[in-house]
Amino acid sequence: MCELVRNAHPERAWVAEADRAYDRLCGYMNELNTHRGLFEALVATLEAEHNPPLSHAERQVALTFLRDFEKSGIDLPPERRARFVELSDSLLGLGRIFLSNASAPPAPAPPLEIPEELLSGLPAHFSSGLPRVKGVALVTPGSWEAQVIQRYAPQSEARELAYVANARADPDRVGVLEDMLAQRAELAGVLGKGSWAEVALVDKMAKTPSNVWGFLTSLADHHRTQAAEDVAVLARLKAQAAGIDKSGALPPLYAWDRDYFSERHVQNQAPASLAPLAPYFSVGTVMRGLSRLFSRLYGISFRPTTPGPGEVWHPSVRRLDVVDEEQGTIGVIYCDLFSREGKPPSAAHYTVRCSRRVDDDDARGDGLHEGWDSRWGPGLETEGDVVRGMTGRYQLPIVVLCTDFGNDQNSPALLGWHEVETLFHEMGHAMHSMIGRTEYHNVSGTRCATDFVEFPSILMEHFVKSPSVLALFAEHYESERPLPPALFQNHMALQSSLAALETHGQIVMAMLDHQYHTLAPGEAVDSTAVYTALQERVGVIPPVPGTAWQTQFGHLYGYGATYYSYLFDRAIAGKVFSTLFAADPLSREAGEVLKKRLLCWGGGRDPWEMVGDVVGGAEGEAVARGDERAMELVGGWYVK
């Protein structure tokens, strides 16, 4: 809830109060995670005999708490405990600074000076709008003007100047990153681990740093050749632009060439008469299509509902009640889809309220739960709802989807293909929250391992590309004619024409994240040297001296040691889709298998067992073990 308000509320006073609440709640959670009485009671509960025995979900919740205690250094002696607290507080501050740096232009620097002749080929209205001194254009590094020059200037020297200025090595920013990495490594040492990756992976599917590295290196070895072929395609365009004879050696492709010649490649590949896709994807029709898809797969649909007074934070926010054909209303999704001033440009899924069973809560007569800290005022109790087919009363889940779509008030909001994929992706998270309604909110919906949580959302990206799914909603907003299959296929061919280069870039980023977080406590950190060496060994485009791209890699903070998760879940999603839905993406039988064997458990069951159960057969049994062999199988799925 605090994260939602901090990022989406248009009023600064609300944002400031959400920041305060967030800080207080983090402090309170730190108190709980270091409470000896709670820890000892938990250990005693896990060690005791129970009749009936603890359910699988109960044991999963207990183990989640136990790992939280261990990560908070519950057993550390006082002096090491004090250092743990000191490092934890310092890392929170460093993380905020790092994220702020990653999303902002470089620190103030002298304007970039670009001679006028290097701007030839750019639109005249753009070039003429740049300030000049004695025939030299002055451009602020990191500005949108610098980004335009880097991506679209025909003159290679202009692109190089802009690229180096945009990614220049700022000692302060590099220092913040390296301090963060060094302190994470030291914190791992305080906890008795060999690296931060060991700390981060203890409750993940991959389990160990060696398993992650094996997965990533197998992908890199496979994709590097294909990525190099994509680079050769772009290098041939560069040679053609420079007038180099086709029989001659290809010129090197540099970092500032990639975006420019990728644009040229797409333009060359696109038929002159290729119509855009956006007129076939209005927000309304896409949402209707999602409702139809979920109705076919799971018997679940959306019912638009008018919000009550004060229920939403902006007039453009829409409410959808999620209705199961057998159980009735099972949750609420609020859709905050359109851009506005101050709203972050990225897409996100916020779990505002988790599902949990409430009728068996231990409550005192005054309405506060036993052990509730009175400093926090009244509790958040709810009487809950009766869900047909489930015992007891449940607090139903509430989630918010935030995107940054444009909205022309004079016509329906039309979406580009990437935005359609984004909406399907985020709705995958939302449906995981709706279907994964467990008795304990600690394991409901998306509260599962980081390297599993992206699987349901990436799976939705497979559905949206299916012709039978597109037929549910893709129609022209004016004529209502369905999307022509040939038009869609032509666009998808363009989308995938340089896919190997993009995938290899993701692999290299995941490898960089892994290398940074396998540093041993006390080991010297030179983030630029690590990045340069990795690019030279595994990359297909050479690193650029004098730059420090790694300071723009914001996921190094939130996904520290787990950025491999996107690739890992792509592999699992591809396998599950081909296993269940290749023959019929609208199969209710397959949808029920996915719902009952995987989605309904949230984080209350071992994800390896769930994936193995869906895959089935001897391969499924091998995957369910979750060992090194299982990791190898998942890597093989991605290669296929």
* Residues classed as catalytic: 426
Residue 30 has φ and ψ, to the nearest 5°, of -65, -35
Radius of gyration of the chain (CA): 26
Q: Taking Cα atoms as reference points, which of 505, 551, 528, 563 lies closest to residue 99?
A: 551
Alpha carbon distance, N-terminus to C-terminus of the chain: 40
Q: Which residues of 246-277 are buried (b: 16+ CB within 10 A; e: fewer)?
A: eeeeeeebbbbbbbbbbebbeeeeeeeeeeeb
- How many whole angstroms separate alpha carbon 66 and alpha carbon 71? 9
How far is Cα 39 from Cα 56, in angstroms, rounded to an integer? 20
Nearest-angstrom CA–CA distance, 102 and 549: 10
Please answer whether residues 174 and 527 qualify as being in contact, where contact means their C-beta atoms are separated by less than 8 angstroms.
Answer: yes
The 10 Å CB-count burial string (b at 16+, else e) for 593-616 is: bbbebbbbbbbbbbbbbbbbbbbe
Q: What letter represents residue 496's amino acid? A: S
d(CA 408, CA 560): 39
Tell how far CA 9 is from the center of its chain: 21
**Cα 580 to Cα 277: distance, rounded to the nearest angstrom:** 28
DSSP for residue 52: S
Question: Is-contact 476 280, C-beta < 8 A?
Answer: yes
Provide the 8-state DSSP code for 351: E
Half-sphere exposure for 413 (CA within 13 Å, toward CB):
16
Which amino acid makes up residue 21?
A
* Euclidean distance between CA atoms 299 and 291, whole angstroms: 10
Q: Let me know: does 469 contact 463? Beta carbons within 8 Å.
A: yes
**Residues for the chain: how many in total?**
640
Q: Which residue type is seen at 134?
A: K
CA atoms of 210 and 201, how far apart (whole Å) = 11
Q: Are the beta carbons of 562 and 451 closer than 8 angstroms?
A: yes
